[in-house]
Chain A
Amino acid sequence: MKPENTGIKKTAAALGTVAGFMLLALILPRYYLYLLALILTTGLLATSLNLVLGFGGMYQFHHAVFYGTGAYCLALILTKTGLPAWLGYLAAPLAAALLGLIMGLLTVRLSALYFGMLQISLGSLVWAIVYRWYSFTGGDDGIHGIPVPDLIGTSRGAYLFVVLVTGACLAVMYRIVTSPFGMVFTGIRDNPERCRAVGINVTGHQLAGQVMAAFFAGVAGTLFVTVEGSVFPDMMFWTLSLEILIMCLLGGWFTFFGPLLGAAIIVVLRTVVGSYTEYWTLVLGVVLILLIFFLPEGVLGMIRRGGDNAAGK
C-alpha cells in the first residue's frame, strides 16, 4: 500500500466517523446525545492528557487543573462580561495553555516523580483559590446556569458542537503525534538522555508538549460548559486528575485512541453502575486493581500486542 493512499483513507475514515456521529443527532433521544457528548468531552480530555503521559512519558499528575481553568475561564467570560461568546471559546483554551506554560516553566526541569508532585501542589494552589474565592468563582458552589449561545444551547446543538470540536482537536492531536515532534516526544519518553545526546532540547520539547496538552484540556473544559451549563471546583480537584489517568491506562496509554476508549468505558460504567448502587468509586477501585494486575497496557495495547504476536514481530 502506498503511503499517500493510507493518508487519504485515514482522512476519509475520520470524516466519515464525524459525519456518522452527526447523523446520530437525528436518531438518538436527548439523554443519549447528552451521554455521548459527555463521553466525547471526557475522551478529548483523556487524549490531551495522554499526549504528554503516554507519548511524552511525563508524570502529568494534575491534568484536571487545565480542564477546570478552561471551563472556568469560559464560564466567567459568559457570566461576568459582555464579551462575545466566541471570544470566550477562544480565550479559555489559551488561558489553560498559559497556565500550562507557567506551571511547565516551574516544573519541567525536574525528574519524573518530582515533576508530578510539584504539579499536584501548584494545581492544588489553583484549586484552593477557585474553591475559596466566592465573590468571583462562586467558591464550592461553582457557577450554574451559564448562558451558552443559542445556537449550541439546545442539547442537539451542544452535541453537534461537541462532535465537531472533538473531531477537529483529535485530528490535530493525531497530526502532532505522528509528526517529527511526536516521534521525538516518544523518544524522550523512552530515553531522555539519549535524546539530548543526539541534539534534542528535551526540556523545550517537554514544555511545548505540556502547553499543547493544557490547551486541548482547556478546549475540553469549554465543551463541558457547553454540555452541562455549569462549572464547579471539583473539576480541578486532584482526584479527577487521577481518574483521567485511569482512563488512559484502561484504554491503553501507548495508543492514540486508547484514552478515548477508556473514557467511554468509564463514563458508561459510571452511568450504569450509578443506577444500581451509590458505591461507584468502590467499583472503580476494583476495576483499577484488576487493570494494574492483568491489563497494564490497556485494552487497545493488549489488542495491538496480540496483533503483533500474530504477525510474528
Chain B
Amino acid sequence: MLRVNELVKTFGGFKAVDGAHLHVAPGEVVAVIGPNGAGKTTLFHLITGQLVPDRGEILFKGKNIAGLPPHKVCRRGIARSYQVVNVFDRLTVLENVQIAVLARQSKTWNLFQTASRMCLEDTIRILQNVGLADKADRICANLSHGDRKVLEIAITLGSKPELIIMDEPTAGMSPEETAATLKLMQRLCRQMGLTLLFCEHDMEMVFSIADRIMVMQQGRTIIQDIPERVRADKRVREAYLGGADTCSA
C-alpha cells in the first residue's frame, strides 16, 4: 500500500532522512522505532506532505505522492495524528470530528446548509467507537489530556483513511492512559481493518501490536521485519545504546 524508496531530506547540511526505505502492506500494523533524532518524525512529515523530500519516492497505492501538499495527501487516503495534541480548542468534541468528516465528504465549500446538522451519523459513530460520545458537546479545551489524545485519533478517523499515520500516540500519557490507548488502537485495527503506521518510544506497546517493525538510525533504515527478528538483530542492539534494557521488554 505504501512504499518509500531512497528518501532523502537535508536541513542545511544535516541529513535528517538519508535514504530511508519503508513498506506497508494493506491491513498491516507497522511501527517505526529508533533513537531520538533518528529521523522518524521527519520521515512522517515527508509522507504526509508537511515537508518536501529532496530525493526519493513515496508510492501510495502505486502513485508517487512525494511533494504533494498535506491536504492533497489526506485526500488520497492518508490521515495522521500528532505527537503533541493538535485539535481545535475552541470547538466542541463533535465539531472537531465533524470538520474532518465534512472535509472527507468534500462539503467544506458548501455555503448555505447548516453545518451542525450534517454528517451527524458518521461523526457520532466515530465518537462512539473511541468512547467519546458522552462528551460530544464539551468544548475541547476543557477535556483531560487523555481525552484530547483520544480525540486526536477520532479526528484522524474522521478522514476515513486507508492508512493512518500516528506520531507517538501515547506521548505524555500516564501508564493507565497508555494502556487504554493501546487497547483502543488494537480494537480499531481489528474492527475497521485499518492499516497503521506509527512511531513510538514505548517498546512494550510496539512489540505488542506491531506486525512488523522498521528501525531507523541517523536517517537510514537498518531493518524492517517481524518483531522477533528485529529483537534478535545485532545491528538494532548496537543502534540502541544499552539496547539490552529496551529490547528485553
Q: Which residues A133-184 have CB closer than 8 A to chain B?
A: 175-176, 178-184
Interface 9-mer from A37-45, A81-89, A190-198: A190-198
Across the interface, which residues of A come within 8 angstroms of B98, CB to CB? 183
Please, how many angstroms separate the alpha-carbon atoms of A175 and B139 in the complex?
Answer: 22
**Residue ID in chain B nearest A7 by CB atoms:** B114
Q: State the Cβ distance, B122 to closest chain A Cβ, in Å.
A: 13
Q: Is the CB of A178 within 8 A of B116?
A: yes
Q: Is the CB of A183 within 8 A of B111?
A: no
When A178-B115, A199-B159, A313-B138 are in contact, do A183 and B99 touch as well, CB less than 8 Å? Answer: yes
- Distance in angstroms between the alpha carbons of A50 and B108 in the assembled complex: 19
Residues of A close to B71: CB separation below 8 A: 195-202
Task: Let me know if B86 and A198 touch, CB within 8 A.
Answer: no
Q: Is the CB of A199 within 8 A of B115?
A: no
A3 at the interface (CB under 8 A from B): yes
Give min CB distance, A81 to chain B, whole Å: 32
Tally A residues with Cβ within 8 Å of B. Answer: 31
A190 contacts across to B, CB distance below 8 A: 88-91
Chain A residues, Cβ within 8 Å of B86: 191, 193-194, 197
Contacting pair B95 A183 (CB below 8 A): yes
Say if the beta carbon of B87 comes within 8 Å of chain A: yes
* Contact indicator A181/B108 (Cβ below 8 Å): yes
Give the contacting residue for B110; candidates A7, A181, A195, A201; CB below 8 A.
A181
Cross-chain contact B142 with A313 (CB below 8 angstroms) = yes
A254 at the interface (CB under 8 A from B): yes
Q: Which of B9-17, B35-43, B74-82, B233-241 faces chain A?
A: B74-82
> What are 10 A-B pairs with beta-carbon distances under 8 A?
A3-B117, A175-B111, A180-B115, A181-B108, A187-B88, A190-B90, A191-B88, A195-B103, A197-B74, A199-B100
Chain A residues within CB distance 8 Å of chain B: 3, 7, 175-176, 178-184, 186-187, 189-191, 193-202, 205, 208, 254, 308, 313
| Besides A189-B90, A198-B99, 18 new A-B residue pairs in contact (Cβ under 8 A), listed by A number | A176-B111, A178-B114, A178-B116, A179-B110, A184-B108, A186-B90, A187-B88, A187-B91, A190-B90, A191-B87, A196-B49, A196-B69, A197-B74, A197-B82, A198-B156, A199-B72, A202-B71, A208-B109
| B→A interface (CB under 8 Å) | 48-50, 69-72, 74-75, 79-80, 82, 86-91, 95, 98-100, 102-104, 107-118, 138-139, 142, 155-156, 158-159
